[in-house]
Amino acid sequence: MDGEQESVLATLLRFSKPYAWLIKQNCPDEKLNRELTMLRNLKSNDFAPLVLYLIDRLNDNSLAELIQIVRLIVDYLLRMRIASPATGSGTTRSLSFELIRKMRDGGEDAIPCSFESLLFELSNSPTVSSEFISDENFAVALQGNFYHVYARELLLRIEEHETKDIPVDISQVTVEHLMPQTLSNWWVDHLGGGDEAERVRLAYTNTVGNYAIVSQGYNSSMSNRPWNEKRDILRDVQFRVTREVAEKDEWGESGIIVRGLDLADRAIEAITSPLPRTRNYRSRVSIEVGVGLYPLLFDDETLVGTSIHAVVYNGESMQCLAWNRLLSVVGYFLHKENPALFAEAANDSVWYSMDKSEFDKPFQVPDSPWFCGGSGNHGKTLRNIAARISDAMGFRESFLLEVVNPLGDD
């Protein structure tokens, strides 16, 4: 075996232990293991090289700083996963390797291996799509729908920040929907019956105000029980951020909204915020587009580089947290307005079909038999398709797009 082979094998051996910590969550330090577990839950494979490099550099002589840095990466990713779910893995992969290069290779843009330097670098990300989500945009995104796994990490962050304690192994923590995903007869009546109950369910089931963290045993015992029974169980949950909900006499739309706004404020306090940006983007997409409502236009360059938050039609808003969902949400409003006219327009477009097998990952137009594709297209292309179909039906000017910027490449 020559020297080069021995060097490679020695390197593999050196990194095998921290790699196991990252994959199996078996790090001997409890605090670091907690951060690595959260990181793993946030689909962080593209940051694995950076984390392994940091462990190799800091674990033996700067463990406290290592924990602080990994926590920073968790917070950066948590904000991104909730506020910019459409951001591709290439974004974080390229950023990860660039940070390693700056710490390892030296040169004019070299940085020290420290919390302060990495916070500065993440806050001044080179591209729009790798943006460290601001407090303002994070607060907006937290009022929309997002994946329950990310809610678990979010609520754990709040619990730890406010109580300085997580009383159980976080691998044993699950997320409970306070208003259940499947409504029993009791819940349908409680939420106003029929269409009104379904409206509330669709709008608020997967929002932060309706999420609670519990240990695994509690989750199975609650299911879709009436609120008074569920509330009695919640009183005994280990987490304060969950127990406080048990003080509510009833649970529905208004309670979910109020709690969501409160949790957004608390999340911003608990989860590391970016520093003010002092360095320009390298990306071509660097024009500031403010948070707000914009018309649905053909060949519109204004919204390139933004992420969508909602679609508004004649004052009615529906969450739309990724451009690849635009056609399904616009289709919902058009189908609701005039099903026959929508069918005529849709049949003239390859983007809508009653046969979902035409698409690898079809999105259903809510409350309709229609499906749409388009997930592999740029936001501008999808906006043009939505504009064409809505224009053909005579309703395009009734649409507004609520966007947040800058969160993702278009």
- 85-120: per-residue pLDDT in tens? 555 556 678 888 899 999 988 778 899 999 999 999
Q: What domains can you pick out in the chain, each with its CATH number?
A: 3-128 (no CATH), 148-270 (no CATH), 292-404 (1.20.1380)
> Of the candidates 325, 356, 358, 366, which has an alpha carbon nearest to the alpha carbon of residue 85?
325
Over residues 281-308, mean pLDDT: 69
pLDDT at residue 185, rounded to an integer? 93
pLDDT at residue 126, rounded to an integer? 85
359-380: pLDDT as tens digits: 444 677 888 777 776 544 567 7
pLDDT at residue 408, rounded to an integer? 41
What are the tokens at 395? 């309703």
pLDDT at residue 157, rounded to an integer? 96
Spatial distance between the Cα atoms of 385 and 392, rounded to a whole number of angstroms: 11
142-200: pLDDT as tens digits: 988 888 889 999 999 999 999 988 878 888 899 999 999 889 999 999 999 988 999 99
Q: Is 16 left (phi over 0), alpha (psi -120 to 50) or beta?
A: alpha
> Of the candidates 176, 184, 174, which has an alpha carbon nearest to the alpha carbon of residue 225?
184
Over residues 286-308, mean pLDDT: 71
The residue that leads in pLDDT, 16 or 136, is 136
pLDDT at 407 over 70: no
pLDDT at 23 over 80: no
Q: What is the mean pLDDT of the chain?
A: 83
271-286: pLDDT as tens digits: 999 999 998 877 444 3
The residue that leads in pLDDT, 382 or 349, is 382
pLDDT at residue 410, rounded to an integer? 41
pLDDT at residue 403, rounded to an integer? 85
Query: How distant, in Å, are the alpha carbons of 338, 371, 388, 405 from that of 331?
Result: 11, 9, 12, 24
pLDDT at 139 over 70: yes
pLDDT at residue 285, rounded to an integer? 43
The C-alpha R_g of the chain, in whole angstroms, comes to 23
Q: Which residues pair with 316 in a beta bridge?
A: 313
pLDDT at 257 over 60: yes
pLDDT at residue 259, rounded to an integer? 96
205-215: pLDDT as tens digits: 989 999 999 98
Whether cis (ω within 30° of 0) applies to the bond prior to 406 is yes
What angle do the packed helices 326-337 and 339-347 form, to 10 degrees?
130
pLDDT at residue 406, rounded to an integer? 46
